[in-house]
Amino acid sequence: MALKPPLTDLPINTADTGFYGGFSVSVTVISKIIISLLVVWAIVWPEWAGEVLGAWNTVILANFAAWYIWTVAFFIIVCLGLAIWPTAGRLNLGQDGEKPEFTNFSWFSMMFGAGIGVGMLTWAVAEPVAHFKNNPAVIQGTNTALGADNVREAYVWSFLHWGLGAWACYAVAGLALAFFSYRRGLPLTIRSALTPLFGKALSGILGHIIDIVAVVATILGVAQTLGFGVDQFVAGLTRIGIGGLVNAEGGATSIGIVVALVVIMGASTLSALSGVGKGIKWLSNINMVLSIILLGFFMIFGATFFGATAFFVGIWDYLLALPGLSFNVYVSDGVEGSEAFKLAQWQGWWPVFYWAWWIAFAPFVGLFLARISRGRTIREFVLGAMIVPSLMCFVWFAWAGGTAIDLELNGEANGVILGTGNGDMIFAMTQFMLEPVSQVLSWLMALMIVVLLMTFLVTSADSAVLIVNTINAAGDEGPKGRPHILFWGAALALVVGGLLVSGGTGAIQTAMVIGALPFSIVMVLMCIALIKAIYNDGRREAAGIATLSDDIDTDVVPAE
């Protein structure tokens, strides 16, 4: 069969006027109904919601753990393969000869901030400490919990969860969206990335379903981030002297949850209404300055040598372990308390949860990466989007988490850090370090972390609202109606609040793992579609057939 030009026109029906003017009514309304039902269910019947979500979590861990593990391994292989493949690596994510809009520094900064900046404040300290307490090597009896022999293993797992696998999820989504939007001229929405497989059928119901799945996954993925953030924000407010927000166990009370969500979502909605050029850009600049100050504090006044050792040795250990860990699946024997049961349970709590989180976050971060990466080659995009942000995560984990481990390992902290919740660890550690010097400095550091946390959370929330509206508007990045921004801001707050009430962060985690499952299938198809498109474009170029939207004769019947 003779080669034909690729598909460069994918019409998506949007309302011309009225309340939904500019939006795909099918995608927007159904997405709103699904999220609204989830909110009502979690708030009106919290116990029932908690029980059902718990049961579903058990089923998913028993049947889909391997799918999540192997899918992310596939994403890593695809990304690195595209960078190495000559035909793919040299392709420009735009028209031939187009130059990037942003400098490398700005590009890297925005990638990090959008991807996992907020996670660093919770997990850069909490995760190395958690794996220092327990990991598969401890469960199997080869390492000692809280022992010096367990430090390197703690960093292997920390780097695994925040390294190449995480960024491969984002890179797959971003690469596919950028390729089909900026080379093909298709709408900047998820369905466009599947045109080599389904062609113009994506203009109809099939495409609507794909975009709806992406919207729901995005809301649940961002809800997970906000759920952790609310706990930490409340802990921070308590540290700076605002009482009545935590219970006897140290968790956020209902009042604490409401206060945190009103502040965070109120600010994020106002920022979203002001648009990318004002609110989000301004907040991102604050994020970067405060992040540098905080990281510099840990590197200079924390465990400087310990952190450097954790960084370099940790990367070496991680790269050696990566091939095995990327495919290893622990299978439970069904006997509660057995080693096999504990290993499978641990894998569900950590790698499976993280892979689902990154997949659910991928529509949001991927679309954002696509928007800021136009004009870069595929090789440049893959290497830049996977390696540099991974190294930034490793720096945070090495010096922030390393300081906490070092203080506990040498006995100085004496359980002050280990005895607190995940969200409170960074506050407990900085207070322990600074309070003997100056209570004022300790309070100011806690205040700075609270401000940084809030700006990160607001940036994530308002960016997510704008991205959801872009998908609902068939890829249109122009101004969106204020009522829709207000709806998604409120919906996001209610999803977080409702799930926290029905089962804490565990309920959000389960809902997110469930929501990520259908989108993981979409992402696998995106990989296949992208490889097919690049392969066919190579054949087209050899045959002298145009592959770029600006060069294609629209009167010729397309192949996709």
Helix (H, G, I), strand (E, B) or coil at 90: coil
- For residue 381, pLDDT beyond 50: yes
Residue 101: per-residue pLDDT: 81
Model confidence pLDDT, tens digit, residues 149-183: 999 999 999 999 999 999 999 999 999 999 999 99
Class of the domain covering 25-547: mainly alpha
Residue 559: per-residue pLDDT: 58
| Cα–Cα distance, 484 to 486 (Å, whole number) | 5
- For residue 552, pLDDT beyond 70: no
Model confidence pLDDT, tens digit, residues 12-44: 999 888 888 889 999 999 999 999 998 888 888
Q: Would you put residue 148 in left (φ > 0), alpha (ψ -120 to 50) or beta?
A: alpha
17-31, 416-430, 478-492, range with the lowest pLDDT: 478-492
pLDDT averaged over every residue in the chain: 86
Q: What percent of the chain has pLDDT over 90?
A: 44
Task: Categorize the per-residue pLDDT at 107 as very low, low, confident or very high, splitting at 50, 70 and 90.
Answer: confident
Q: What percent of the chain has pLDDT over 70?
A: 91
C-alpha closest to that of 90 among 550, 468, 537? 537
* Residue extents of the structural domains in the chain: 25-547
- For residue 341, pLDDT beyond 70: yes
- For residue 429, pLDDT beyond 90: yes
Q: What is the average pLDDT across 451-479?
A: 81
Buried-exposed string 451-483: b where 16+ CB fall within 10 A, e elsewhere: ebbbbbbbbbbbbbbbbbbbbbbbbbeeebeee
* Residue 132 structure tokens: 């220092």
Give me the helices (H) in 46-91, please.
46-63, 65-84, 86-89
Pick the most confident of 35-39, 99-103, 275-279, 521-525. Answer: 521-525
C-alpha closest to that of 68 among 382, 387, 513, 506? 513
In this prediction the pTM is 0.91
Model confidence pLDDT, tens digit, residues 268-299: 777 666 654 455 556 666 777 888 889 999 99
Residue 122: per-residue pLDDT: 80
Residue with tokens 């991927």: 366
Contacts of 559 (CB under 8 A, 6+ apart): 3, 4, 5, 6, 7, 536
* Residue 230 structure tokens: 């609310």
Residue with tokens 């994918």: 10
- For residue 513, pLDDT beyond 70: yes
